[in-house]
Amino acid sequence: MAGKQDRGPRSLDRASGQPLWIQLLADLRRRLDADEFTAAFPGELTLGAEYEISRHTVREALRVLREEGRVTAARGRAPRLAEPAEIQQPLGALYSLFASVEAAGLAQRSIVRTLDVRADGVIAARLGLEESTPLVYLERLRLAGADPLAVDRVWLPASLAAPLLDADFSHTGLYQEYRERCEITVTGGQESIRAVMPSDAERQLLGIGSDIATFSIERLGCSYGQPAEWRHTLVRGDRFGVTAQFSARSGYQFEMSAPHRYEGHQR
């Protein structure tokens, strides 16, 4: 928490050559990080007066904060702090986390931690392959707005997925790239979801404390019945939820099974 001397607006430097709205954006981020606006977020006129800038300049900075999911604003209404959006996923449906984040109104991007070819006997066996089969491995930190949402680890048969090594996964969905670059469409598969306590390293990546659990999602994705991916995703429990549909005729349809213990190499 910043001290009192660090609170309040800082003067913008009109001689720096950096656009005023970018300077304003940086200072508003600083003040947000210091929890300065817990009572209320100032309106456009107030910010304009505080920083001695035009309303247009204020709006440019607020536009980015809205895209990051940090404030909300509607036409004719003052901006306010945004509540953390919960990403909803339907049970029993093939989904893309990329699409679901953007459907929640948040900017989606990924920090690619690893993209290479490796062997992993445990994962290869789950894909129905020989243990020494080369696999394309992709590990990403997924962000929703400005905040970490999930650690996503995916293994794909290199014989199918080698062209993905040239893809930029910082802002694109895996399934789209898989389809366009490799002509592989993931059409279904099996998935298990369970609540787990993440490791200290995973907590640090996700930016969460010891009081928040995570969802562990394991997926065997298939392309017309043939295994095409094994995925392990660790999602923040405070930002992710699942939904189910039921009917009087069919009720809930689900199977109970013992979850896999992941024994592959983690980074």
Convert the pLDDT of each residue in 82-135 to its tens digit: 555 555 555 555 456 656 666 666 677 899 999 999 999 999 999 999 999 999
DSSP state, residue 239 = S
pLDDT of residue 83: 55
Q: Is residue 14 part of a domain?
A: yes
Q: Ranked by mean pLDDT, which of 20-24, 79-83, 249-253 comes out on top?
A: 20-24
Q: 149, 158, 167, 174: which is closest to 95 by C-alpha?
A: 174
pLDDT interval class at 261 (50, 70, 90): very low
pLDDT of residue 32: 84
113 with 214, same domain?
Answer: yes
pLDDT interval class at 64 (50, 70, 90): confident
Give yes or no for a contact between 263 and 129, defined as CB atoms under 8 angstroms apart: no
Domain edge (last residue) among 58, 81, 104 = 81
73 with 92, same domain?
Answer: no
State yes or no: pLDDT of 262 exceeds 60.
no
pLDDT of residue 264: 40
* Interatomic CA distance for residues 44 and 143, integer angstroms: 28
121 with 76, same domain?
Answer: no
146 with 237, same domain?
Answer: yes
Question: Do β-strands 80-81 and 71-72 pair in parallel, antiparallel, or remain unpaired?
Answer: antiparallel
Average pLDDT over all residues of the chain: 81
Instruction: Report helix angle 44-51 to 55-67, nearest 10.
Output: 120
157 with 69, same domain?
Answer: no
19 with 94, same domain?
Answer: no
Mean pLDDT (whole number) for 55-69: 85
158 with 97, same domain?
Answer: yes
pLDDT of residue 29: 87
224 with 142, same domain?
Answer: yes
71: domain CATH number?
1.10.10.10
pLDDT of residue 42: 86
State yes or no: pLDDT of 155 exceeds 70.
yes
Residue range(s) defining the domain that contains residue 55: 4-81
By CB atoms closer than 10 A (0-12, 13-18, 19+), residue 33 is exposed
116 with 175, same domain?
Answer: yes
How many structural domains comprise the chain?
Answer: 2
pLDDT of residue 78: 57
Mean pLDDT (whole number) for 162-166: 97
Take residue 126 and report the two structure tokens written for it: 């789950």
136 with 55, same domain?
Answer: no
pLDDT interval class at 154 (50, 70, 90): very high
State yes or no: pLDDT of 267 exceeds 70.
no
177: domain CATH number?
3.40.1410.10
63 with 92, same domain?
Answer: no
CA 190, 195, 199, 201: dihedral to nearest 10 degrees? 70
State yes or no: pLDDT of 164 exceeds 90.
yes
Give yes or no for a contact between 47 and 35, defined as CB atoms under 8 angstroms apart: no
Q: What is the pLDDT of residues 168-219, one digit of tens each?
A: 999 888 998 999 999 999 988 888 888 899 999 999 999 998 888 898 989 9
